[in-house]
């Protein structure tokens, strides 16, 4: 996705949902001293790690702030609203609840001709359905759930972008199989990459969390092959879009 943005030397780039800042550091190297990178993420612990990375690289122009995609107009310097060259989101869109509002906010901070690049999950129903099946049964049903990933299809993504004012330049998908030695390892990966949202056990009363985890792991074990390997088909949608130049 980053390669599809072309030469970004000297550009101002915002990395929304930057996590611990790995991609932002790569981008900061690419923009050089003539550009800059701003990373934004709602998780303050991730931003603390990212800020430490920035401190370790004083030669790079990169800074990090706590916030969400929908907050982005407030986070960016007011003189820079409507002047940003590029916004990227890597594995983030599926976590955003109000996608139209987030995409409108991103569109509004971009300069005319500015670019948006995103990679996001699509069609990873398999592990989510397993988890939902477990948690919709007793004794877990009835407890509040929030923060679930919501995947969009290629057509839905295209419509979301067009409705937010973008022109879609490229849209492709990458299909891969992510494999683990067993159900527990699979769930560990889902938890790490999804800060617990995939399993939804945090919202359960503490006394039920271990049982829920065990049941979800058992459910994942049922999709293991004969050697015990558990595989999830993962589809990533990779899109670049631009704001019409006026």
Ligand X SMILES: C[S@@+](CC[C@H](N)C(=O)[O-])C[C@H]1O[C@@H](n2cnc3c(N)ncnc32)[C@H](O)[C@@H]1O
Does the footprint of ligand X cover residue 46 (CB under 6 A)?
Answer: yes
Residue 122 sits in the site that holds ligand X (CB under 6 A): no
**C-alpha angle with apex 96: 168 to 158, nearest 5 degrees?**
20
Minimum CB distance to ligand X smaller for 98 or for 129? 98
Please list the residues that pair with 219 across neighbouring strands. Answer: none
CB of 16 to ligand X, least distance (A): 5
37 binds ligand X (CB under 6 A): no
Say which residues have a Cβ less than 8 Å from residue 11's Cβ, sequence separation at least 6. Answer: 31, 35, 85, 86
* Residue 2: half-sphere exposure toward Cβ, Cα within 13 Å: 18
Position 92 contacts ligand X (CB under 6 A): yes
199 binds ligand X (CB under 6 A): no
Pattern of binders to ligand X over 67-86, x per CB under 6 A? -xx-----------------
Alpha-carbon distance of 89 to 23, in angstroms, equals 10
Query: Which residues, including other chains, have CB under 8 Å from residue 197's CB and lie 6 or more apart?
Result: 95, 147, 148, 149
Bridge partner list, 90: 119
Nearest to 184 by CA among 224, 225, 149: 224
User: Contact with ligand X (CB under 6 A): which of 19, 35, 117, 183?
Assistant: 19
Which one among 4, 30, 32, 42 touches ligand X, defined by CB under 6 A?
42
Residues in contact with ligand X, total (CB under 6 A)?
Answer: 18
Q: Which residue is nearest to ligand X (CB)?
A: 19
Which chain residues interact with ligand X by CB under 6 A? 16-19, 22-23, 41-43, 46, 68-69, 90-92, 95-96, 193
């Amino acid at each position: 996705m980053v390669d599809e943005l072309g030469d970004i030397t000297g550009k101002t780039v915002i990395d929304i949902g930057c996590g611990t800042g790995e991609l932002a550091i790569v981008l900061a190297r690419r923009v050089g001293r003539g550009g800059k990178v701003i990373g934004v993420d709602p998780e303050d612990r991730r931003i603390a790690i990212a800020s430490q990375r920035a401190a370790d690289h004083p030669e790079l122009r990169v800074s990090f702030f706590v916030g969400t995609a929908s907050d982005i107009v407030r986070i960016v310097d007011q003189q820079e609203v409507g002047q940003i060259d590029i916004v990227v989101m890597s594995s983030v869109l599926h976590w955003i609840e109000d996608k139209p509002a987030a995409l409108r906010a991103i569109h509004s901070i971009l300069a005319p001709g500015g670019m948006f690049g995103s990679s996001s999950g699509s069609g990873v129903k398999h592990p989510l359905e397993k988890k939902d099946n477990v948690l919709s049964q007793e004794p877990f049903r009835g407890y509040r759930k929030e923060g679930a990933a919501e995947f969009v299809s290629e057509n839905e993504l295209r419509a979301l972008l067009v409705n937010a004012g973008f022109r879609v330049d490229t849209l492709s998908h990458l299909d891969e199989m992510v494999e683990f030695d067993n159900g527990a390892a699979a769930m560990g990966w889902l938890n790490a990459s999804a800060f617990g949202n995939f399993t939804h056990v945090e919202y359960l009363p503490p006394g039920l969390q271990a049982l829920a985890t065990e049941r979800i792991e058992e459910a994942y074990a049922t999709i293991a092959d004969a050697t015990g390997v558990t595989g999830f088909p993962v589809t990533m949608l990779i899109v670049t879009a631009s704001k019409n130049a006026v």
